[in-house]
Amino acid sequence: MSGIELHQVAKRYGAIDVIPDLSLSVEPGEFMVFLGPSGCGKSTLLRIVAGLEAVSGGSIHIGGRDVTTLAPGQRDVAMVFQQYALYPHMTVRDNMAFGLRNVGTSAAEIARRVDDAARMLELGALLDRKPTQLSGGQRQRVAIGRAVVKEPAAFLFDEPLSNLDAALRNRTRVELSRLHQRLGATMVFVTHDQVEAMTLATRIVVMNAGRIEQVGTPMDVYRRPASRFVAGFVGSPSMNFVDVARAPSDGAFVRVRLPDGTVTPTRIPAGDVPGNGLLTLGVRAECLTVDPAGTLGGRTEVVERLGDRTLVHVSLAAGDLVVAEAAPHSELRAGDPVRLALDPAGLHVFDATGRAHHPVA
């Protein structure tokens, strides 16, 4: 297993800074996911690690070896792309063996690696088929198998599930997780899909405009987002935001005044939050619940019945639209009045810079 070290990596196209200055450590055996919106630089960063893009500054080390100026084939990494890029005239077996033959690997070793990968990815019955005879999910498994047979220091995945339908994407995600457990290999995975990030990652790197907003475990990123950007990007539904003012404190914790004048307590230490300036209250749907005794009033706009949970889109008295959670079998309908309760332990405050202030654990 080999780790990956990026030190002050920069990428520029002319006068445009795509990645201004980025440092990051990927631990040996880690499954790290680069998560962010389109255009944030995550795929460019992965291509820099692979050697498909040259750096404009900084250095890259894989397994302790400086690979900054090495060609892709000299970096001991294997990359799986969004497009399967299989040779249509070759069988599955030959597609998986092709790269090994090119570097002079012995026939016996090629057979061993292909058979091992096929067994791991459940491709044994498909080895003599050609790509046109395979489903999309099977083709993607072949593309992954082509990477596995290389036995690289690290695997790099560039949105490999994007072309699959929802059900197949879910199954392939589970297969990738099992593959990581079996191999114990270092894997770096790029996606804009937060579900993929939350379910696959050891740690998530949330990127925005070429910069790292936060690095952390999936639940750390979800429960204690470093910034308003992270809070809004991670989570489904995303965190609710309401502009608030700071109310006089009655103890060690901050109180805030909502637009309708309601004052609500939090579990955020009073000394952590600026005394003035714009503040935004953040609350996830599970901490904003339908409750006849709730302090907030509003009108139901949309009800989403998802089976295991029911989400209610509510227009508050001051006009803010929020998403709250109701009982799974709630009878609420669009147009119904509704009361909402806030859980103080689940409230976050974001200051004018977008920095997050969290409740005490």
**Taking the domains of the chain in order of start, what are their residue ranges?**
4-230, 240-357
Whole-model pTM: value is 0.90
CB 328 within 8 A of CB 307: yes
- Closest alpha carbon to 281 in 258, 315, 263: 258
Tokens of 220: 């750390």
- Residue entry with tokens 């399967």: 84
CB 311 within 8 A of CB 325: yes
In the beta sheet, which residues pair with residue 25? 5
Instruction: Report the alpha-carbon distance of residue 325 to residue 94 in Å, rounded.
Output: 52
For residue 97, the Cα-to-chain-centroid distance in whole angstroms is 32
Please tell me the predicted confidence (pLDDT) of residue 1.
Answer: 64
CB 58 within 8 A of CB 8: yes
Instruction: Report the alpha-carbon distance of residue 288 to residue 112 in Å, rounded.
Output: 55
Please tell me the predicted confidence (pLDDT) of residue 141.
Answer: 87
**Left (φ > 0), alpha (ψ -120 to 50) or beta: where does 209 sit?**
left
- CATH 3.40.50.300 corresponds to the domain 4-230: yes
| Beta strand 356-357 pairing with 337-342 | unpaired
Q: What is the pLDDT along the chain (361 residues), one digit of tens a residue?
A: 689 999 999 999 999 999 999 999 999 999 999 999 999 999 999 999 999 999 999 999 999 999 999 999 899 999 998 888 899 999 999 999 998 998 899 999 999 999 988 988 888 999 999 999 998 888 888 998 999 899 899 999 999 888 778 887 888 888 889 889 988 899 999 999 999 999 999 999 999 999 999 999 999 999 999 999 999 999 989 999 999 999 988 789 999 999 989 999 999 998 888 877 789 999 999 999 999 999 999 999 999 999 889 999 999 988 899 999 999 999 999 999 999 999 999 999 999 999 999 999 7
The amino acid at residue 265 is P
Cβ-Cβ contacts under 8 Å for 105 (sequence gap 6 or more) = 113
Instruction: Report the alpha-carbon distance of residue 75 to residue 221 in Å, rounded.
Output: 31
- How would CATH label the architecture of 240-357? Beta Barrel (2.40)
Instruction: Report the alpha-carbon distance of residue 305 to residue 326 in Å, rounded.
Output: 10
